[in-house]
Structure 1
Amino acid sequence: MIHFRCADRTDSELIHSLMVQAFTEYQNSKAPSSAMQETTASIDAAFEKGEQALIACDETTPVGMVRFKVREDVLYFFRLSVIPENQGQGVAKRILQELEEVAKKKNKHSVTCRVRKNVTRNVHLYQSMGYHLFDQEVVHKPDGIDIAVVHMKKKL
């Protein structure tokens, strides 16, 4: 049974650990995720600027998390992370459901994210949860690599 709690600043190390575990699979790709460059200090700084996070636990063991920002009109999420041994068990879907409840409580009528277009399993996950593509862009990395990114949204 997955349960959730809102993270606070004392959770920066845990958030970083969960994120690194989940994103390690991308570190050897042509364009590694910038998640791997984040630090506990950068997460602390983001919390100070209003960023928030949900932590998903199975019993007492943290198995995933998502970071998010409450914006004027939407709740924007990023770095959705599930540790490898718990992937494929519906944890990401449960995190998204809980995040949508947070958005409703904060009177937001939609939830948005950005995802690499070539990570089709993530695009499909979000689509299976009712998200649709509404925009796309190409992110130009400093090393000359271009990454196609799609913007996805779900109206609540």
Structure 2
Amino acid sequence: MIKLGNEAEIVIAHKLMKEAFEEYRYLEVPSSAINEPLDTLRDSFRNGLEKFIVCYIDGNPLGFLRFNTKGETLYFSRVSVPPYARGRGIAKSMLSWLEDYAKKEGIYKLQCKVRSSLIHNLSLYKSIGYTVTKEEMVTNSNNLSVNIVVMEKLLKP
């Protein structure tokens, strides 16, 4: 079951993100998700800046992602499936759910940013119809520079 997250699930979502991004702690530029405080997610949710979804399988939370809409684009980030839950199609299921949600909201473009060096993640998005639309260097919340690509998928009404 995939559903919009509520305030009571923020702690669960944050835990899933930490577990999923832990493997990026030892990259040359570690992921800022590792040190992202719970309050950042909570404040963003409470202020209406972001929503999130949680995927449950057999009652266990195994996936999370957050998103917001800006104009005609739904931007998502922090797609999180901990290592022990991978290989079950959870990320693809959450992204499919997000596409359905976007269409219901009248939004037909989804967008995310992915580190250029994370080939597995790039392949996942490409396999479900995302294309690279831009390459850039960004400064993450740890104040470190990272090469990323912007990926987009256009949906049919």
The TM-score normalised by the length of structure 2 is 0.93
Distance in 2, matches of 1:36 and 1:120, equals 20
- For residue 11 of structure 2, what is the aligned residue in structure 1? 13
Select between 114-123 and 139-148 the one with higher mean Cα deviation.
Answer: 139-148
1:47 aligns with 2:84: no
Structure 2, unmatched stretches of 5+, are none
Distance in 2, matches of 1:144 and 1:121, equals 25
Q: How does 1:1-156 map to 2 (within 5 A)?
A: 3-50=1-48, 51-140=50-139, 145-156=144-155
| Contact 2:19 2:82 (C-alpha < 8 Å) held by counterparts | yes
The TM-score normalised by the length of structure 1 is 0.93
| Contact 2:20 2:83 (C-alpha < 8 Å) held by counterparts | yes
Report percent identity of matched pairs.
33
Specify the SS of the correspondent of 2:33: helix
- Total equivalences in the alignment: 154
Q: CA RMSD in A?
A: 1.5
Specify the SS of the correspondent of 1:154: strand
Deviation track 1:75-130 (CA, whole Å, cap 9, x = no partner) reads 10000000111112211111110111111111101110000000010011000000
Residues 86 and 74 from structure 1, CA distance in 2 versus in 1: closer, same or farther, beyond 3 angstroms? same
Structure 1, unmatched stretches of 5+, are none
